[in-house]
Amino acid sequence: MVETKQSQASKFGRIEVRGVSKIFADSSGGVIEALAPVTLDVAPGEFVSLVGPSGCGKSTLLRMISGLDAPSSGQLYLDGQEIQGPHYERGLMFQDPTLFPWLTVQRNIAVSLEARKLHKGQEEVREMIKLVGLEGFEQAFPFQLSGGMAQRAAMARALVNHPRVLLLDEPLGALDAFTRMQMQDELLRIWQERSTTMLFVTHDIDEAVYLSDRIVVMASRPGRIKEIVRVPMGRPRARNHPDFFRLRTKILEILNFLHDDPTGYQI
């Protein structure tokens, strides 16, 4: 029996953020409030994007959900279990693919499985290589890959442990515009196929509208959630559709980046 996306989603992660804040010490002995208390729920199988200006705490929040950083206050949960450090059930992708240059694509993807001493690793690696469209490049080294192919390998490495949640910190930001659009479609294809919960950080408003079920709009000084916008459009989405432009305009208005000329904005 073929499972629907809704039935598959129940297997994947619900993220709960409860009053989470982050404070850093500065060089003068004072403190910087990087993130004011934030509360957020992400449903299993949902695709949620975080947008906002630099310094608003998007990446800080993502790192705390990943377990790489601890919150200064509040709690974080995955499926009701408090997050207290990194775990393979929370995959993480950065803007830089961070592939090991001395390992092939196949070995790069297998690294985390080898660390867990899983004997069925090669089967899993082959599945991921097929999933991200890198068949034929198993023995290639990172220097032989294009930027988009390197990010595909990084995505396969993040997915090979079958995480409940995939956390993406501007993973497409360094790509050229054409490759970036291709990778957006690939990311959607993989998300729809696997129904993995995805939390995606981006500075690109169009990218957020194209990909997301909901968009969390953040403001800085200190970082906080300003508004959460639901994306009512179905998929696939036309980037030139009037509803697309209307939603982009709404988000720009929330961010106070829309000027007298609605077509001329900067972030």
How far is 91 from 68, CA to CA, in rounded Å? 12
In which band, very low, low, confident or very high, does the pLDDT at 10 lie, cut at 50, 70 and 90? very low
pLDDT tens figures, 180-210? 999 999 999 999 998 999 999 999 999 999 9
Q: How far apart are CA 67 and CA 87, in angstroms?
A: 7
Residue-level pLDDT at 107? 93
Return the closest-CA partner of residue 21 out of 77, 82, 54, 70: 70
pTM tops 0.85? yes
Q: Please, is 168 exposed, middle or buried when counting C-beta atoms within 10 Å of its C-beta (0-12, 13-18, 19+)?
A: buried
Q: Band of the pLDDT at 2, cuts 50, 70, 90?
A: very low
Of 221, 113, 239, nearest in space to 181 by CA: 239
Domains in the chain, start-ordered, CATH in brackets?
Answer: 5-89+166-254 (3.40.50.300), 99-162 (no CATH)
